[in-house]
């Protein structure tokens, strides 16, 4: 506990003085919620749940809890229930109030009672459960401990009554229920998929804990709530299996490392597959470190050195004329790295880059020890891996040649913009948008309808290359993909020197994918998103990628016309206009962009004043990786199942 917090708590046992301090603390959270939970949109809303779950995970990591249940209630309030020791609730003589109340109402007080506990979990901002309380219109804590049931309720962080005993219990645990405050959050509907993906991830990251999600908003035909359980016996090994379940494995075994180096617990699982993508997911204290950091550097260094030594010693590189780069060792590699660091230093733009220098060596040692052992023990697999690395090096050289060709052509081609691009006249990238449009015909309509000052149009022919399955030089040679990156002004590639996108050259700050509102259209949009996800991820992270939403229907009655973007809107319009007789209400289903004329396309889909754009974001990188590899892979059944499961969100002809 910091000196400041101690002072706040031990203010001579003066209850009212304490509470004033407390309310000031929580008032600060309500005044500037984004400072504590990131934002007040979808992300922040879901962050509240993570914050509460993290406390239960800590209790599990301390060895006292193995079951955590999350319930989404009908009114979008949330319950998180665990079978840990229960938060102490009796009166603390010093503070003159229940310990529970202190945990729930003092900023950063959560868990600090237990000095021995090795607190490693904790949300991205590690703000504690009192922040969730401050941002909830209603919050209830129920504690089962020492044979009793305690409760206390709060509103916007203020206790509604003193913690009290309401019954007896022979169990222990903590049950938190909260309803986010609508006056703080822009959105108030929880997304099942987002919470489920996080719980699945937590299950893999913390083997042996039973996690579940119950969604009371979804009831099946037997009247049962939708419920999913997540449990992993073997941790990261199963995480890699899950990530790669639709990829073709190169070696039969997954390399799984669980060790501790210099008091730093390190867990790693890795396996090579036949794809060309590098899929490394790293975590520190259960937080996805999307910007990487010292643990990732240590992993790469250990992997490269160990594989290189092995290949050198076995003489496999003697005939190779070209150099091997670090990237070549990671082509087709899926890996998850998880470290637990007692005092993590987070750096970087999103505070998801680990700075602690001691972690680098710990991970390097862990991976090189285990990997050299594995290579010696499994010579067949070792040869397959080294062959793959050599192939990657050769492909990289071919790709460099292909790229140099493109660049040379561009240098002589004057400006180098693709012939198909109808550019805008404005030059300031911040004001400029580019529409990537499916098909030449829709491209023509969009060109006529656009605001030519700030909107550029790039028509794309049918289906672009599936980058999930293609080798790098094929990607670079693909006409459509060349058109995309030359129009954008940035280059792509996997070589170390060009890895960072030259984002300052980016010519548009809104890149809008515009495809037909049918199954083919959404497949094409997915192909384009896959390309951005694999080759220009920084651009998605910067918030530049969007999807246009063309309407599904035009509803007409006499001279009246209106568009509908959903089945529900269509029915509502018909209801409003029909007045008991819908015979003269005419509904036109837009199957493709091409069925609209240029004014209609402008009005409904392109006009910044009226349109709705969906921003493409990466909520959960591991889950996104899993979904993209599944959607774009060879395996048809899981893809079909995914599309069927999501059909109600897609549209009727799916």
Q: Which residues form the interface with ligand 0RA (CB under 6 A)? A: 55-56, 59, 82, 84-85, 87-88, 111, 113-114, 174
C-beta closer to ligand 0RA: residue 59 or 468 = 59
Active site residue 516: yes
Closest separation in Å from C-beta 173 to ligand 0RA: 7
Residues 47, 130 contacting (CB under 8 angstroms): no
| Catalytic, out of 520, 538, 603, 619 | 520
C-beta closer to ligand 0RA: residue 85 or 140 = 85
Token pair listed for 641:
């199942």
Q: What is the 3-state secondary structure (H, E, C) of 236-249?
A: HHHHHHHHCCCCCE
Closest separation in Å from C-beta 85 to ligand 0RA: 4
Neighbouring CB atoms inside 10 A of 17's CB total 12
| Catalytic, out of 8, 518, 623, 625 | 518
Token pair listed for 219:
């009831």
Task: Name the residue number minimizing CB distance to ligand 0RA.
Answer: 55
Token pair listed for 33:
């919620």
C-beta closer to ligand 0RA: residue 128 or 298 = 128
DSSP per residue, 526-537:
HHHHHHHHHH-H
Active site residue 520: yes
C-beta closer to ligand 0RA: residue 115 or 380 = 115
Rounded Cα–Cα distance for residues 216 and 76 (Å) = 9
Neighbouring CB atoms inside 10 A of 104's CB total 29
Question: Which stretches does DSSP call E strand in 251-347?
Answer: 255-261, 264-272, 279-284, 287-288, 333-339, 346-347
DSSP per residue, 462-483:
SSPP-TTTS-HHHHHH-HHHHH
The conformational region for residue 285 under phi > 0 = left, psi -120 to 50 = alpha, else beta, is left
C-beta closer to ligand 0RA: residue 85 or 340 = 85
C-beta closer to ligand 0RA: residue 59 or 327 = 59
Closest separation in Å from C-beta 99 to ligand 0RA: 8
- Least Cα distance to 128 among 105, 151, 144 occurs for 105
Closest separation in Å from C-beta 111 to ligand 0RA: 5
C-beta closer to ligand 0RA: residue 56 or 600 = 56
DSSP per residue, 71-114:
EE-TTS-EEEEE-SS----SEETTTTEEHHHHHHHSTT-TTTT-
Length of the chain: 654
Rounded Cα–Cα distance for residues 242 and 207 (Å) = 14
| Catalytic, out of 267, 438, 468, 477 | 438
Active site residue 327: no
Active site residue 69: no
| Catalytic, out of 142, 215, 516, 625 | 516
Angle at 366 between CA 363 and CA 370, to 5 degrees: 145
User: Which residues participate in catalysis according to the annotation?
Assistant: 438, 516, 518, 520
């Amino acid at each position: 506990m910091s000196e400041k917090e101690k002072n706040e708590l031990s203010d001579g046992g003066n209850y009212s003085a304490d509470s004033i301090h407390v309310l000031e603390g929580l008032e600060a959270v309500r005044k500037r919620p984004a400072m504590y939970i990131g934002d007040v949109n979808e992300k922040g809303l879901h962050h509240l749940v993570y914050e509460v779950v993290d406390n239960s995970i800590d209790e599990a990591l301390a060895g006292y809890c193995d079951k955590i249940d999350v319930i989404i209630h009908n009114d979008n309030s949330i319950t998180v229930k665990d079978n840990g020791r229960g938060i102490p609730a009796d009166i603390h003589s010093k503070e003159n109030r229940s310990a529970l109340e202190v945990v729930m109402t003092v900023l950063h007080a959560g868990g600090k009672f237990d000095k021995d506990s090795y607190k490693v979990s904790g949300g991205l901002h590690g703000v504690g459960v009192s922040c969730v309380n401050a941002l909830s219109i209603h919050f209830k804590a129920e504690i089962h401990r020492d044979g009793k049931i305690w409760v206390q309720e709060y509103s916007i962080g203020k206790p509604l009554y003193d913690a009290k005993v309401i019954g007896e219990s022979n169990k222990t645990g903590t049950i938190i229920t909260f309803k986010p405050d609508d006056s703080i959050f822009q959105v108030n509907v929880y997304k099942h998929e987002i919470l489920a993906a996080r719980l699945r991830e937590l299950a893999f990251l913390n083997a042996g804990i039973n996690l579940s999600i119950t969604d009371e908003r979804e009831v099946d035909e037997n009247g049962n709530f939708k419920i999913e359980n997540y449990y992993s016996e073997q941790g990261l090994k199963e995480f890699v299996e899950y990530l790669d379940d639709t990829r073709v494995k190169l070696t039969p075994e997954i390399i799984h490392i669980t060790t501790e180096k210099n008091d730093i617990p390190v867990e790693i699982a890795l396996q090579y597959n036949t794809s060309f993508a590098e899929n490394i997911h790293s975590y520190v204290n259960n937080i996805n470190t999307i910007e990487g950091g010292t643990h990732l550097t240590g992993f790469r260094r250990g992997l490269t050195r160990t594989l290189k030594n092995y290949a050198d010693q076995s003489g496999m590189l003697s005939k190779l004329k070209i150099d091997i780069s670090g990237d070549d060792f990671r082509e087709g590699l899926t890996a998850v790295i998880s470290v637990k660091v007692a005092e993590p230093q987070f750096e970087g733009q999103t505070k998801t880059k680990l700075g602690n220098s001691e972690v680098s060596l710990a991970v390097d040692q862990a991976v090189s020890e285990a990997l050299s052992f594995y290579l010696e023990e499994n010579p067949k697999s070792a040869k397959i891996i080294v062959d793959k690395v050599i192939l990657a090096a050769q492909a990289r050289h071919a790709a460099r040649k292909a790229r140099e060709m493109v660049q040379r052509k561009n240098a002589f081609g004057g400006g180098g913009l693709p012939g198909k691009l109808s550019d805008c006249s404005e030059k300031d990238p911040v004001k400029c948008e580019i529409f990537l449009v499916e098909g030449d015909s829709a491209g023509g309509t969009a060109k006529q309808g656009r605001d030519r000052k700030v909107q550029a149009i790039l028509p794309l022919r049918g289906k672009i290359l599936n980058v999930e399955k293609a080798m790098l030089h094929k990607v670079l040679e693909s006409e459509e993909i060349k058109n995309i990156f030359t129009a954008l002004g940035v280059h792509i590639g996997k070589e170390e020197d060009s890895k960072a996108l030259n984002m300052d050259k980016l010519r548009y700050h809104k890149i809008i994918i515009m495809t037909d509102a049918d199954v083919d259209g959404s497949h094409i949009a997915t192909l384009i998103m896959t390309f951005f996800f694999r080759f220009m991820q920084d651009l998605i992270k910067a918030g530049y990628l969007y999807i246009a939403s063309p309407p599904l229907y035009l509803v007409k009655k006499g001279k009246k016309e209106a568009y509908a973007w959903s089945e529900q809107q269509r029915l509502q319009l018909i209801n409003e206009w029909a007045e008991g007789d819908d015979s003269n209400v005419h509904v036109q289903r837009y199957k493709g962009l091409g069925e609209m004329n240029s004014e209609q396309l402008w009005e409904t889909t392109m006009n910044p004043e009226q349109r709705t754009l969906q921003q493409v974001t990466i909520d959960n990188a591991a889950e996104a990786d899993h979904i993209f590899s599944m959607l774009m892979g060879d395996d048809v059944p899981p893809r079909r199942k995914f599309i069927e499961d999501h059909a109600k969100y897609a549209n009727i002809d799916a």
